[in-house]
Amino acid sequence: MSTPPSPCCAAQPDRYVSFKGIDCDGNARRLMDTLLRLRSDDPDEQPLLKLFKERRAATTGVRCDDLLLLASFVNPVRELFERHHDQEALDLLEQLEEQCF
């Protein structure tokens, strides 16, 4: 005899169904385009921006899609947009976190 799901788990949407109609890849692409358009002379920001450019353009070796890259580096990306006072990018990042990561 199996145990019925707890009420808290039963109330949460199935994540695979809940992604239906959400353009996670398109939103990730928009955010990545915004990220890669940033102009920065800050030496602390250069390695992260370089990493994204290299991973996105890679044809061999490790290449990640935009959604995976952003999810993997969500906190540094958030800090970068905060330093650049880009609220629109921060809002899109939050939307991606809530809906797609």
Which of 50, 99, 46, 39 minimizes the C-alpha distance to 71? 99
HSE-CB at 51 with a 13 A cutoff on CA atoms is 12
Render each residue's pLDDT in the chain as its tens digit; 101 residues. Answer: 555 544 444 455 555 566 778 899 999 999 999 999 998 889 999 999 999 998 888 877 766 789 999 999 999 999 999 999 999 999 999 999 999 98
